[in-house]
Amino acid sequence: MTQRIAWLNEKGGSGKSTSALNLSANLASRFGQRVLLLDVDHQANITAVLTRGKTPKKTLTDVFLNDVPAEQAIFKTHIRNLDLLPADSALADVNVAMADTGSRLGLGRELRLKRALAPVEGNYDFVVVDTGPQRTLLNVNVLNYVDEVFVPIDPGYWSIMGVQHLEKLVEQIRLHMEHATLRIGGVLLTKVQKTNVAKEVEAQVREYFGERVFRSTIPLNVKVEEAHSRGMSVLDYSPESAGAIAYLDFTKEVLFHGNDTEHRVG
Ligand SMILES: Nc1ncnc2c1ncn2[C@@H]1O[C@H](COP(=O)(O)OP(=O)(O)OP(=O)(O)O)[C@@H](O)[C@H]1O
Ligand SMILES: [Mg+2]
């Protein structure tokens, strides 16, 4: 069965795109999982990395605005087993169009992504979704589509506040959109530094979220960022680096242990 995971945190720069990209690339190329990565952010950061700067022919914008079937916008990336449904800056217009309830896109606007992906998702073991930092109708579409949300937290003093807002949003979707099984499946500490603030915030996050916090944490490591500019995962770019080892450990945790010791494969 396909597992659908969205990376979400309304705080900008918390590591959503980096974590979505490295988890997807590792699952696909190291563990033979068939992965579809969805770029649902008009910043299109992941698209830029995986196309190495080339403009994709069709994007998620075409799927929403022009009724292009998702399979026509999906392409195989240079990473084995990893497909991408790319974004472009015009995805911001989709939000505007959906906000007008009288427009063609206003109808059934919260469930458009789910409907668009239904014909293709069976081809994949995992669908991993990257989202933008704003609260948008696109993100409501993402929450209606996925089974679980992974929250990256870059441990600073204000990090916890943002995550509490996110919990309320997930609760609202559960209640009002009849998606009772949606849950925050995991919390990942990212860009972790060896500072007292980071240690204190990590302790707070572990106390608040308990077992939902992944054991693995991702250190702040320059190789992670360099890998983006080479169009690669950090594991392919610099396999011995602290960032690569951390994202590999994290991927194993997702695949083999979940957050509840259940084996996620099969
Ligand atoms: N472990 C890391 N070590 C070093 N740099 C990192 C690490 N993780 C992320 N970064 C860098 O931090 C910046 C923010 O990360 P990223 O883009 O993944 O966050 P985001 O949550 O997707 O941001 P946005 O909210 O804008 O979409 C990027 O420049 C990224 O390359
Ligand atoms: Mg991002």
Summarised one tens digit per residue, pLDDT across range 21-30 is: 999 999 999 9
CATH number at residue 19: 3.40.50.300
* Domain contains 39: yes
Would the CA dihedral through 220, 256, 23, 245 be positive or negative?
positive
* Domain contains 73: yes
Q: Are 197 and 157 in contact (CB under 8 A)?
A: yes
Distance 15 CA to ligand 1 centre (A): 4
Domain that holds residue 60: 3-257
Nearest CA to ligand 1 atom 29: 225
* Domain contains 262: no
* Domain contains 229: yes
Mutational pocket test of ligand 1: of 8, 17, 47, 136, the residue with most ligand atoms within 8 Å of the beta carbon: 17
Number of domains in the chain: 1
* Domain contains 199: yes
Q: Mean pLDDT over residues 233-248, rounded?
A: 98
- pLDDT-derived band at 89, boundaries 50, 70, 90: very high
* Domain contains 265: no
- pLDDT-derived band at 175, boundaries 50, 70, 90: confident
* Domain contains 263: no
Distance 209 CA to ligand 1 centre (A): 22
pTM of the model: 0.95
17 Cβ neighbours under 8 A, 6+ residues apart: 7, 41, 43, 45, 46, 130
